[in-house]
């Protein structure tokens, strides 16, 4: 019954910005996160936000990406600035009913019961 719908992916030039959104249905907006997977690469955690509002970021995006939430709208956002070609990937919204495991450095880990969105493509050209 949980549904996550992402939007905002696009093709941009290096240095540009995008804002992704994720609307959650059948789920209270808490313990949300963003993950990405590039062709030929392993899926990696990008950012997470806990129920108390605390955020974590992967070292590769720290300082450039910002995760936020609007609990009234049951929506989570990922503001991406200073985009690089290395950021090109399919971005997935994720909901964790329990709590996020955080790797050293800050990246969230997807384990246990995780709900996933359909993904939205982000392409950054040189």
CA distance 114 to 118: 13
pLDDT tens digits along 79-95: 999 999 999 999 999 99
pLDDT tens digits along 104-118: 999 999 988 899 999
CA distance 104 to 101: 10
Q: Indicate if the pLDDT at residue 57 is higher than 90.
A: yes
* Six token digits for residue 59: 């070292």
């Amino acid at each position: 019954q949980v549904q996550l719908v992402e939007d905002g992916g696009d093709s941009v030039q290096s240095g540009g910005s995008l804002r992704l959104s994720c609307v959650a249905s059948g789920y209270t907006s808490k313990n949300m996160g963003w993950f990405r997977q590039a062709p030929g690469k392993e899926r990696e955690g990008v950012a997470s936000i806990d129920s108390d509002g605390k955020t974590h970021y992967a070292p590769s995006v720290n300082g450039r990406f910002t995760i936020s939430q609007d609990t009234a709208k049951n929506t989570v956002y990922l503001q991406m600035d200073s985009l690089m070609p290395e950021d090109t990937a399919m971005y997935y919204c994720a909901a964790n009913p329990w709590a996020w495991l955080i790797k050293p450095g800050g990246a969230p880990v997807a384990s246990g019961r995780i709900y996933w969105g359909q993904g939205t493509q982000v392409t950054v050209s040189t």
